[in-house]
Amino acid sequence: MTKPKQKMQKLQPLIKIRKLQLDQETAVLNRIQLKREEAAEALMQSQRTYIEGVEKLNRERQSSERKMLTALELGVDYAKAQWYQRLMTLRAVEEEERHQRLMVAEAQKRMKMLEHLDERYLEQHMKQMKIQEQKQLDEFAISMNRRKE
């Protein structure tokens, strides 16, 4: 069996790799969250445009002239289609964000596992060091006793 210190030395590069992986996954999650925020803002803008278009269309329908009725109806239809498209985009980004959160959680789990293992090896190493230190103290005490006799 290899010594805990050797195990710890072998484990350190793996911990660094897992930390880098976690950082990368977190960076991807942050980019996705920014994309979600942009998609949500675009959705809200489309919703406002659609509501304003419906209000204009209703006013035009109530007026006696009705000059721009067809154009307003087409504009409202376009705004509604755009709003729906942005809603679907937002849902897709939210799903991507959910998936990435799972990836980050998995990366954290893997890193924590290695850190826990490293802590356990450190504890074993400290125990071995205490045992060796005690042996040296015992040998020193015995040699001091022999000199006195």
Reading the block at residue 91, the tokens are 């849902």
Q: Which residue is associated with the tokens 């911990």?
A: 15
Cβ pair 10, 118 in contact under 8 A: no
Q: Judge whether 62 lies within some domain.
A: yes
Range of the domain at 68: 9-116
State the pTM of this model: 0.74
| 107 Cβ contact partners less than 8 Å away, ≥ 6 residues apart | 18, 21, 22, 25, 26
Q: Judge whether 131 lies within some domain.
A: no
Residue 94, exposed/middle/buried by CB under 10 A (0-12, 13-18, 19+)?
middle
CATH code for the domain in which residue 55 is found: 1.10.287.620
> Number of structural domains, the chain?
1
Q: What is the pLDDT along the chain (149 residues), one digit of tens a residue?
A: 458 778 888 888 988 999 999 999 999 999 999 999 999 999 999 999 999 999 998 888 888 887 888 888 999 999 999 999 999 999 999 999 999 999 999 999 999 999 998 899 889 889 988 988 999 888 888 888 877 76
